[in-house]
A and B are shown apart, each in its own frame.
Chain A
Amino acid sequence: MYDAIYIEEHDTPAVTFAFEHFFNDAMSAASSKGMPVVRIVPETIVSESTVVEDIEAAITAVADDMVVALTRPLTAEEKSPRPREPEHPEKIVFKGSLEEVNRFFYQRGWTDGLPVIPPTEAAVAEMLTGTDLPADHLVAELEPRRGKATVEKIAINAVMAGALPTYMPLLIAGVQCLADNPVSGMMAASTGSFSPFWLVNGPVAKDIQVISSYGATNPGNIANAAIGRAMGLITKNIRGVRKQIEDMGVFGNPGKYSWVAAENEEYSPWEPLHVERGFKKEDSAITLTFPQSFQQMMPFGTDDKGILATVVGSVSPARMGLFGLLLTPAHAKSFADRGWTKKAIKEYIVKNTIVPDDYFPRLGLKTDKPFDRGNVTGPGLGPQIFRPSPRDPDPVQVFVFGGFGSWMGFMQGGPPPVTKKAELPGNWDKLVARYKNIVPSYVRY
């Protein structure tokens, strides 16, 4: 939609074909760019379809609409859209019981479907103790809605998610990650159901107990659960990406509830991810990627040879985007003991993970057709799965977390990672001490 708007701005009439299920999404995108009355021709072609008969029939059916969209004179509203009323929301939006607050928020479309903690002034004030920034400080405006991610709005969503004030530095850095990635809005809305995965590095991880070992991404502890959940609510309530309205993920992704781990720096033999990405070891940071799938597998062997053979032999040619290799600390040690650095592992994977020459012919796909992915290999590129490019010079990443076991994992999809430093408030040690005992205490049975 953005290109059609750009073209209209250049005084040239445009019309865009869009799948009829995506009409709301398209109109929200257009509206966010200041053109709420853009001309769209809804059609019945399922997103990314390659079924030529369906496409032929669908476009033929709306050919008149295409012509009309380019020739019918503009209405007064299309010439000069009425300005939207400025939003001046009441400070207190509702008063009621826990159940009533939850029902009100749910009916407004402000939750992820699970109950929330009511964001009272007192709860939000406590959340704001987690940062030295003032409540009205604007961290970023988040596309596509251009909602203002002020520190207060971040705190309100954090309260709802059940976060503790000590998570605020990471949540603020997380918002900066979202703002810094030019396609993160598209990722949140995409049919590909890309889910944010948040990897925490530095001392903050231990301070606030973001789990890095066994079951790191499982539910069961506040930090891993609430940080991702808060970022999901921020995506909905600040960014304005809502299920089935702007978020048109075909399958959806359970990672969107919360998908957070700390890197297992204690047992990793290598430099932490944030150091690899230019930060100091003593910095605290959060890294955002957008995998759409997570696959766990038992490697052919747990030494370097077995793990690498599993990687280069198991990656699907139909995959897209960033590739994150998930290694447990035991696997990482196995590599390091044999002299492997992360850089060497990445280079090996880029070089050796290939599509066999006869792969597409064996599938019955001919690479001279415009729509199969085999056709994207250009002269000199070869059949490599991973192709470093100016936009994504480092398409393979290595993340070390999890417990001591032999399973390994792939995270696949999405744009290059973004990492931001978390700025801790001046009274950090006191804050950490105040909340550090909020931990589960399990009984033996």
Chain B
Amino acid sequence: MTADKSVASYEVLSPWAEADPIPLKGLAPRVADLAGKKIGLLCNNKRAAPLILNVAERLLKERYPTSETSWFYARSFSVSSLEADRKAEFDDWIKGLDAVVAAVGD
């Protein structure tokens, strides 16, 4: 704080908004091994996403020939946030998987 009495001093309020703490969630248990597992490839609508997952899929199959892959193509940045009409389809897709690799193109 300035010691110069000729300089005006201001007591100021914070512009930074309060935010309620939200309940935190932990991650799902991992799988011990990807061999023989069904792995989802989740691709959003950004154009790098399918290219990334193409490579990931090939590498997974090279390493784990008994694994299977299943793609889901989002129409937007996020199925769960922006595509209410596909929620059931998305939920069904997740149910059949052991793990998911996602690419967001960013």
Residues of A within 8 A of B (CB): 1-19, 22, 25-26, 34-39, 43, 45, 47-50, 52, 55-56, 59-60, 63, 66-67, 70-74, 78-87, 89-98, 100-101, 105, 108, 110, 118-121, 124, 141-142, 145-150, 152-153, 156-157, 160, 182-183, 186, 191, 233, 237-238, 240, 248, 370-373
Question: Of B26, B34, B97, B106, which is within 8 A of A47 by CB?
Answer: B106
| Chain B, 33-57, CB within 8 A of any chain A CB | 33-34, 39-40, 42, 44, 46-48, 50-52, 55-56
Q: Please determine whether A118 and B22 come into contact, CB atoms closer than 8 angstroms.
A: no
Contacts of B10 in A (CB 8 A): 95-98, 101, 118, 120
Q: Please determine whether B59 and A60 come into contact, CB atoms closer than 8 angstroms.
A: yes
Q: Please determine whether A97 and B8 come into contact, CB atoms closer than 8 angstroms.
A: yes
Question: Of B1, B16, B24, B82, which is within 8 A of A35 by CB?
Answer: B24
Q: How large is the interface on B (under 10, 10 to 19, 20 to 34, 35 or more residues)?
A: 35 or more
Complex Cα distance A179/B32, Å? 42
Contacts of A186 in B (CB 8 A): 77
Give the shortest distance, in Å, between A49 (CB) and chain B (any CB).
Answer: 5
- Tell me if A's interface is mostly helix, strand, loop or mixed: mixed
Complex Cα distance A240/B9, Å? 28
Q: Which residue of A lies closest to B81 (CB)?
A: A2
Complex Cα distance A8/B25, Å? 9
Q: Which residue of B lies closest to A237 (CB)?
A: B15
Complex Cα distance A197/B103, Å? 30
Question: Of A22, A34, A142, A372, which is within 8 A of B106 by CB?
Answer: A22
Q: Please determine whether A370 and B106 come into contact, CB atoms closer than 8 angstroms.
A: no
Of B2, B97, B102, most A-chain CB atoms within 10 Å: B102
Q: Please determine whether B8 and A12 come into contact, CB atoms closer than 8 angstroms.
A: no
Q: Does B13 contact A (CB under 8 A)?
A: yes
Contacts of A36 in B (CB 8 A): 24
Question: Of B1, B26, B74, B94, which is within 8 A of A12 by CB?
Answer: B94
Complex Cα distance A94/B8, Å? 14
Given contacts A16-B104, A147-B16, A148-B20, 19 further A-B contacts (CB under 8 A): A2-B78, A7-B42, A14-B100, A14-B102, A15-B100, A15-B102, A25-B106, A34-B25, A48-B46, A55-B52, A72-B30, A79-B26, A94-B11, A97-B2, A119-B12, A119-B13, A160-B15, A186-B77, A371-B51
Complex Cα distance A315/B23, Å? 47
Q: Which residue of A lies closest to B56 (CB)?
A: A59
- Chain B 53-89: CB-based contact to A (< 8 A → 1; otherwise 0): 0011001100100000000001001111110000000
